[in-house]
Structure 1
């Protein structure tokens, strides 16, 4: 995903609806390609949110320019810029949740 225009720090970029999958279904979901589009969900993070809309298209970076927040009331995930983003710049998130989290992921990060 690339910015179509300049985006200011703190700006809401995307609100993505989610499909909630309870914890006991993860053993099935993790065997599918859909597991690549999942976020931890719920108070303890044990449930899974399958992200729809553009939210499923943001690439990972250990130096992201966006952060995301779960909105459980609306069953959405909201994406906000954490720095100014220039037009044509890639929009990225840290798949670990927190922008500074350098924990390894399930794939090799280039």
Structure 2
């Protein structure tokens, strides 16, 4: 049986969580702090959608290639962050790091140094020195190699 609720659920906006998504020249979109984050503070946790080899082969030649993480689970080579996690731009001077939780099938993004309101939240995807400057299709990310 379906029951109705008199009051609609309250939906949190990303700004309420301390970040927002904005356009970034030459990178498409980026994630920006709307409040201060202390070193070690969690910015966000995102569940992931895991892609098996067949799914990944079908998606590899699509734009999805620009938004996935390598996943360390056997038979599941890639994961899509179901949240802002796939929108963090790359930087050789990151202020956010990501922790992969295979059991929970989630990514936790944490400030690795203090971040002030208005600053872009950026990751080092492990491409090597200067590699974050690569631009492919107008975006400053290709395959996220974290993990």
TM-score (norm 1): 0.83
List alignment gaps of at least 5 residues for structure 1.
none
List alignment gaps of at least 5 residues for structure 2.
1-30, 141-147
Residues matched between the structures, number: 106
The Cα of 1:32 is off from its aligned counterpart by 1.2
Which structure is higher in RCO with an 8 Å CA cutoff and minimum separation 6?
A: 1
Q: 1:45 to 1:94 in 2, by over 3 A?
A: farther
Please give the residue correspondences for 1:97-108 in structure 2 after superposition, counting only pairs within 5 Å: 101-102=128-129, 104=131, 107-108=134-135
Larger radius of gyration: 2
Cα RMSD after superposing both structures: 2.4
Runs of 4+ in 1 over 6 A off after TM superposition: none
TM-score (norm 2): 0.64
- Equivalence for 1:80: 110
> Contact 2:73/2:102 (CA < 8 Å) preserved in 1?
no
Which 10-residue stretch deviates more, 34-43 or 4-13? 34-43
The Cα of 1:102 is off from its aligned counterpart by 2.4
> Contact 1:42/1:72 (CA < 8 Å) preserved in 2?
yes
Distance 2:121 2:98 in 1: 12
Which 10-residue stretch deviates more, 40-49 or 51-60? 40-49
